[in-house]
Amino acid sequence: MYKAKERYNKLSSARTQFLDMAVECSELTLPYLITRDDNFKGKRTLLQPWQSVGAKAVVTLAAKLMLATLPPQTSFFKLQVRDDKLGETLDPQMRTELDLSFSKIERLIMDFIAASNDRVVVHQALKHLIVGGNALIFMGKDGLKTYPLSRYVVNRDGNGNVIEIITKELISRKVLGIAKPPEEQGPNSNDLGPDEDDAEVYTCVKMDESSGSWRWHQEVDDMILDGSQSTAPKNASPWLVLRFNTVDGEDYGRGRVEEFIGDLRSLEGLSQALVEGASVASKVVFLVSPSATTKPGTLAKAGNGAIIQGRPEDVGVVQVGKTADFATAANLAATIERRILEAFLVMNVRNAERVTAEEVRLTQLELEQSLGGLFSLLTVEFLVPYLNRTLLILQRSNQIPRLPKDVVRPKIVAGINSLGRGQDNESLTRFIGTVAQTLGPEALLKFINPTEAIKRLAAAQGIDVLNLVRTPEELQQQKQTLMQDKSQMSLVDQAGQLAGTPVMDPTKNPELANQAAAVLNNLAPPQ
């Protein structure tokens, strides 16, 4: 029988070196983040670093990664129709209408993400990635949950694909409704109800190659919990195993802090030496010669401005002559600090309430150039499965319509590729501007369909055009109305001009006056 506890302990041996390094990196940056025994619920004493540069670097880089990965004001993905399906199963003329519909669905999905705690959990996972290089996210029905490296093990195949995950948690037996095994019960144990002790709960996740889906269950005391079995499609797994940097043949990743562990160690030692040296240097100690007539007790009790008997040469002050050494250490510490801040992109942070889309794009470009392909890894291991799982959840709950997989394809557009549909907007605007500048406004009006251009711009910006942009029928009706109004105005103008001619003037045309009088007589009431 498959026992999760034995399997967990076996896979833990391959995790030891990565966990030790992650704990050291955490001690130099955020000591609370990763510990060797994360399931310990008692009082823990954490080491406090002598410097805060590491913490500032991690928090800033995590915030930038969060801004670039899940931007708050735009979509990190777009839904699009496969180009090979246009003309076969779909009319190419429907592309714009489909883009508008997809834009509505994208807004619904982003509203769902904004209303959840996903961004909070993802930000915590990003800090784990930066410090420890590894993180595990579970997308449950109650929201996302992050597992630190000390609480899970993973097994990968030769291609780096995850084939097995086992997590370890401590949960109260009272919550689970399970009593302690007989061999662990003491003489005072209550056999009628669950014990108050915590139980080790192991969650086993494995890839079933026969069915092509993920299967998992939970075990306590080598027994499977009732109702804990579940499955998920291969491409929509709720278990997201994340890595910061990958090394071929290793099941776990390497963090950003590990790459600069030497500088952080040096800065930690220099900061401790400077703090302790400054503390010693600031201490004032008076020395009194043993053969002096000045009494130490009298000197110690003397207040400010007091008059006592003694000789000045009998009293001296101990001074630490390490000023030059302190300056050397401070200069070296400043150099290392600047190097660390540049590596973690702390130097180019703008404090603002609202961050524009252009700033997000520049941040993404900066991250990609500095971290070298990090977005590619985050896209494969986080954004794609996260989006697929979110789509599956919303489709199952009928919050969005079901999308045909063979026609509609979601595309991740985070990173340097673009900013959601903002890239489409920029490209379309640039194209129209180029046509106008190169061929002139006449060619623009001749070759560009205004209605289609407006709809595509609205779709690129995620704007609902319902009751905003006139339909072709409304445009035709408006054209006919304008033509009628123009015709009536023309008749009125002609009538006014004709009224000003001598022929129509009664004073100059007697016949017209007689005709008018005859008409009035006919209209007059009888006497």
Q: 446 to each of 441, 449, 455, how far by Cα in Å?
A: 9, 8, 18
**Confidence (pLDDT) at 91:** 63
Contact at 8 Å (CB) between 215 and 234? no
Distance between CA atoms of 134 and 22, rounded to whole angstroms? 9
pLDDT band at 525 (very low <50, low <70, confident <90, very high): low
Bridge partner list, 387: none
Reply yes or no on whether the pLDDT at 457 is more than 80. Answer: no
Contact at 8 Å (CB) between 436 and 444? yes
Contact at 8 Å (CB) between 254 and 261? no
Q: What is the pLDDT of residues 241-290, one digit of tens each?
A: 999 998 888 999 999 999 999 999 999 999 999 998 888 888 888 888 88
Contact at 8 Å (CB) between 49 and 28? yes
Q: 52 to each of 233, 269, 340, how far by Cα in Å?
A: 44, 13, 12
* Strand 152-156 to 315-318 pairing: unpaired
Distance between CA atoms of 357 and 4, rounded to whole angstroms? 47
Q: What average pLDDT does range 305-319 have in this prediction?
A: 84
Higher-confidence residue of 350 and 429: namely: 429
Distance between CA atoms of 86 and 98, rounded to whole angstroms? 11
Secondary structure (3-state) at 245: strand
Quick one: tokens of 280? 């010693």
Reply yes or no on whether the pLDDT at 189 is more than 70. Answer: no
Distance between CA atoms of 345 and 153, rounded to whole angstroms? 31
| Nearest by Cα to 257 from 274, 246, 245, 271 | 245
Q: 156 to each of 208, 265, 440, 481, how far by Cα in Å?
A: 14, 32, 59, 70
137 Ramachandran zone, left/alpha/beta (phi>0; psi -120 to 50)? beta
Contact at 8 Å (CB) between 451 and 475? yes
Contact at 8 Å (CB) between 162 and 207? yes
Provide the residue count of the chain: 527
19-33, 326-340, 355-369: least confident range: 355-369
pLDDT band at 41 (very low <50, low <70, confident <90, very high): low
Mean residue pLDDT of the chain comes to 80
**Confidence (pLDDT) at 18:** 96
Q: What is the pLDDT of residues 437-456, one digit of tens each?
A: 887 877 777 777 777 777 77
Contact at 8 Å (CB) between 105 and 79? yes
Percent of the chain with pLDDT over 70: 75
Higher-confidence residue of 271 and 524: namely: 271
Global pTM?
A: 0.74
Q: What is the pLDDT of residues 55-100, one digit of tens each?
A: 999 999 999 888 888 887 778 888 887 766 665 666 656 766 777 7
**Confidence (pLDDT) at 195:** 44
- The 8-class DSSP code of residue 181 comes to P
Give me the DSSP letters along 276-344: HHHHHHT--EEEE-TT-SS-HHHHHH--TT------GGGEEEE----HHHHHHHHHHHHHHHHHHHHHT
- Radius of gyration in angstroms for the set of CA atoms belonging to the chain, rounded to a whole number: 39
Distance between CA atoms of 69 and 374, rounded to whole angstroms? 11
Residue 137: other Cβ atoms inside 10 A: 24
Distance between CA atoms of 252 and 268, rounded to whole angstroms? 27
Distance between CA atoms of 71 and 415, rounded to whole angstroms? 10
What are the b/e assignments for 14-30, b being 16+ CB within 10 Å?
A: ebeebbebbbbbbbbbb
Residue type, 233: P
Distance between CA atoms of 140 and 234, rounded to whole angstroms? 16
